[in-house]
Structures are given as structure tokens and as C-alpha cells.
């Protein structure tokens, strides 16, 4: 069974989708078979891959309607990398989801086909996210080096502890990725040091325009700007992940 990793922070704009796409691509380029699941009704991951979220006949919503998960999987031009799209329709559908085990059940049918499955979670702790956490082996939290983003981790950790006591006792918190870090500001350094004291910091992604490169082409930074500091950081994080999860 492949390792299932939720990329999660209930605060938006911290780099969840960017981290998902870049880490998944790095592992795919290391010849691991990787699946990305877009679980955010905003469809950010689907958009980032260069696709129109409304153009798909089958999306993650169909899985919650008990349709075949294989019909929802799409290949990408990057070898070994596939994804399941999402769009805004899932937002209205979320309120009808009554169980936290739907996604886990669906993934179990294809889990042995992949080495890694990344779930790009919505910026909330609702039923979609609870489904992701129930299905996952690990959580990685991208955290912007600002007070609001760092403080939001407290709520996330409370949810993780609850899930460990109930629906998923095997769920592990792998660590955080410090994002949008500006090394020349006092506040960013204070927040980074705070993160290092409390959590396992998997890597640091500096604030840079390179993070946005390639979006128009549907490619992650590690593909479009492989020599950038951001690409090198994501490559290092992905290589470390192989050893710890």
C-alpha cells in the first residue's frame, strides 16, 4: 500500500498546493509512481496542472458518490505522475457527506498501484479534510512564517489528536514546511525559530517569484526552474521524506 500524505493547513495561501505539486513531481522524477488528489473545491491543484476544473466528466466528487475511482484518475505530462481533479461543485456536496471513511474506502482500491498519494486539502477542518485525515498515514503542514499561520497549527494539532484517538490511530504528523520565508525580516526569523522549537521542520521555502513560474504552462517550479532555490529546497525535502515516511 502506498504512503498517503495529506498536505494541510486550515489557513489559506500558505503554499499547500505549490508544495503538493512540487513534492509529488520530485518523487515522480525519482521513479516513484505518484498520485495527487485535489480535495479543495477551489480546484487550485487542478488549475495549477494547467487544466480547467470544470472540463472533467469525473472528479473527486464522483468518488463520494461511490463511483469508480479509476475513472477519475488523469495522467499528466510528467512521467509517473497522475491526479484526480476537483471543482466548485464539491463545495455544495460536502454538506451531504456524513462519514469520514468514504475517501479511505475509495483509495484502498488503488493504493497498491502507487508509491505515494498526496491529498491537497481545503483550507478548513470540515468533512472533506476529516476524510483526508482518516485516509492518510501522514500529515505535512506548509506554514507561512507569520503569526497567524503559525498559531493556526494549534487547531490542526487538536484535530490530529482527536483523529488519532478515534478514526485513525495510525495517523502521524510528519512535520512542517516553512513557506514564504523572508530571511531578512525579524518577524520571519522569530516565527521560524518558534516552529523549530515546536515541530519537525522538513524544509524552508523562501519567498520568491520562482514559486509562481510555470503556472501558465501547468508545470511546477521544480520543472520550469530546476536550479532555483525553491526547486532545490523541494528536492531536498522530497529526498528526506523517502527516509522518514
For 153-204, write each residue's pLDDT tens digit.
888 899 899 989 999 999 999 999 999 999 999 999 999 999 999 999 999 9
pLDDT at 215: 60
Burial class of residue 86 in the structure, from the number of CB atoms within 10 Å of its CB (0-12 exposed, 13-18 middle, 19+ buried): buried
- What range does the domain containing 197 cover? 3-244
Residue 152's pLDDT band (boundaries 50, 70, 90)? confident
Number of domains making up the chain: 1
pLDDT, greater one: 143 or 93: 143
* CA-atom Rg of the chain in angstroms: 17
Of the candidates 243, 7, 30, 10, the residue with the CA atom closest to the CA atom of residue 136 = 7
CATH code of the domain containing 154: 3.40.50.300
pLDDT at 95: 86
Give the SS3 label for residue 102. helix
- C-alpha span between 127 and 8 (Å, rounded): 13
DSSP secondary structure string for all residues of 182-216: -TT-HHHHHHHHHHHHHS-EEEEEE--GGGGTTGG
- C-alpha span between 143 and 16 (Å, rounded): 9
- C-alpha span between 190 and 196 (Å, rounded): 10
With 90 as the cut, is the pLDDT of residue 10 above it? no
Amino acid at each position: 500500500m502506498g504512503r498517503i500524505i495529506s498536505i494541510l493547513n486550515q489557513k489559506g495561501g500558505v503554499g499547500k498546493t505549490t508544495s503538493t505539486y512540487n513534492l509529488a513531481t520530485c518523487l515522480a522524477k525519482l521513479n516513484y509512481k505518484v498520485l495527487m488528489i485535489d480535495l479543495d473545491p477551489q480546484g487550485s491543484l487542478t488549475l495549477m496542472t494547467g487544466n480547467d476544473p470544470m472540463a472533467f466528466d469525473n472528479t473527486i466528487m464522483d468518488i463520494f458518490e461511490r463511483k469508480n475511482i479509476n475513472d477519475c484518475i488523469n495522467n499528466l505530462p510528467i512521467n509517473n505522475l497522475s491526479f484526480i481533479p476537483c471543482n466548485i461543485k464539491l463545495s455544495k456536496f460536502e454538506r451531504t457527506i456524513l462519514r469520514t471513511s468514504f475517501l479511505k474506502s475509495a483509495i484502498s482500491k488503488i493504493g497498491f498501484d502507487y508509491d505515494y498519494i498526496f491529498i491537497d486539502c481545503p483550507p478548513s477542518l470540515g468533512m472533506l479534510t476529516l476524510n483526508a485525515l482518516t485516509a492518510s498515514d501522514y500529515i505535512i503542514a506548509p506554514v507561512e512564517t507569520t503569526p497567524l499561520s503559525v498559531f493556526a497549527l494549534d487547531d490542526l494539532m487538536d484535530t490530529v489528536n482527536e483523529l488519532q484517538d478515534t478514526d485513525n490511530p495510525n495517523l502521524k504528523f510528519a512535520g512542517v514546511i516553512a513557506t514564504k520565508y523572508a530571511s531578512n525580516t525579524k518577524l520571519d526569523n522569530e516565527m521560524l525559530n518558534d516552529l523549530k522549537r515546536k515541530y519537525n521542520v522538513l524544509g524552508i521555502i523562501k519567498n520568491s517569484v520562482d514559486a509562481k513560474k510555470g503556472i501558465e504552462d501547468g508545470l511546477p517550479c521544480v520543472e520550469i526552474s530546476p536550479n532555483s532555490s525553491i526547486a532545490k529546497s523541494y528536492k531536498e525535502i522530497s529526498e528526506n521524506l523517502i527516509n522518514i515516511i
